Amino acid sequence: MKEIFDDIRRLYIFRESCHELKEYIDFFPKPARSCRSPLYLLMVLNSEKPDVDLRIRNAKPDEYNAIGKLMVRVYSLLEGFPSPEEQPEYYKMLANIGDLTLTPDTELLVAVSADDKIAGGLVYFKDMKYYGSGGSATREVNAAGFRLLAVDPAYQGQGIGKKLVKECINKSRSQGLNQLILHTTQSMKTAWKMYENLGFKPSEDLDFERPNLKVYGFRLILSTFVSEATTETG
């Protein structure tokens, strides 16, 4: 691990001198270039972010395969999250994400750029009995939920995850439901903070455990959610 952090220090020095990050990566040994190493994550964070005008829509069937690949890539990058080797069935579900839309009232939502490039996505469940997680969430009534939020690393940091979540909030409110439910883990620190900022509250009754992984439930009482537009207009 010391060698990896030495690499990071040298990377900062090099970046300041010539900004040729991608070429410099090739000088490091493969362990330092692992998709879960701090060096790789630093490379992703420092890569140029495309400026995009995004819209949210339902995914098309011919996009399901690409979305599944994106899901697998994003979740396998999460530090501390089980790898495909540790939880092959979970990653098989991610790869075949479109299959979830075969259940009633279930939508695969995507954020797309002006040229229809997929920047991120999630699955929205109007009926919690199809939610499919562990714990007690599938017994919740008058509630919707969403799972499997993923944003392409090239588009991260632009509020795409927030836009997708707010679409779920708007959907569930327009459908006359009382609450919106989600699950997350400590590996998803950025998303966790975003959920709290949007008003989601930890709900221990929704927590459950997978092998070597604690999963935390959150709920948003929709009557308490105040949109940014409402706040701005008073």
Higher pLDDT, 228 or 143: 143
pLDDT for position 124: 98
pLDDT for position 59: 98
The answer to whether position 64 is within a domain reads no
Q: How far apart are CA 35 and CA 47, in angstroms?
A: 15
pLDDT for position 42: 52
pLDDT for position 211: 82
Decide: 217 and 201 in contact? Cβ < 8 Å: no
The answer to whether position 87 is within a domain reads no
The answer to whether position 125 is within a domain reads yes
Domain that holds residue 22: 2-46
Task: Check pLDDT > 70 for residue 158.
Answer: yes
Mean pLDDT for 221-232 is 65
User: Exposure string (b/e) for 118-150, b if CB count within 10 Å is 16 or more?
Assistant: bbbbbbbbbbbebbbbebebbebeebbbbbbbb
Q: How many CB atoms lie within 10 A of CB 80?
A: 12
The answer to whether position 95 is within a domain reads no
pLDDT for position 37: 53
Mean pLDDT for 62-66 is 98
**Domain identity same for 22 and 107:** no
The answer to whether position 71 is within a domain reads no
The answer to whether position 198 is within a domain reads yes
The answer to whether position 160 is within a domain reads yes
Q: What CATH number does the domain containing 211 carry?
A: 3.40.630.30
Instruction: Kindly report, residue by residue over 117-154, the tens digit of the pLDDT.
Output: 999 999 999 999 999 988 999 999 999 999 999 999 99
Residue 114: exposed, middle, or buried by beta-carbon count in 10 A (0-12, 13-18, 19+)?
exposed
The SS3 call for residue 13 is helix
pLDDT for position 210: 87
**Domain identity same for 195 and 108:** yes
Decide: 76 and 84 in contact? Cβ < 8 Å: yes
Task: Check pLDDT > 60 for residue 81.
Answer: yes
Q: How far apart are CA 49 and CA 39, in angstroms?
A: 18
Decide: 79 and 187 in contact? Cβ < 8 Å: yes
Instruction: Quote the Cα angle for 150-69-44, to 5°.
Output: 60
Phi, psi of 132 (to 5 degrees): 85, 10
Decide: 136 and 126 in contact? Cβ < 8 Å: no
The structure tokens listed for 201 are 């509250």
**Domain identity same for 16 and 123:** no
The SS3 call for residue 188 is coil
Name the DSSP class of 78.
S
The answer to whether position 21 is within a domain reads yes
The structure tokens listed for 62 are 């011919």
Cα–chain center distance at 234: 31
Residue 217: exposed, middle, or buried by beta-carbon count in 10 A (0-12, 13-18, 19+)?
buried
Tell me how many domains the chain contains: 2
Mean pLDDT of the chain: 82
Identify the weakest region by mean pLDDT among 3-12, 77-86, 110-119, 155-164.
3-12
Q: What confidence tier does 193 reach under pLDDT thresholds 50, 70, 90? A: very high
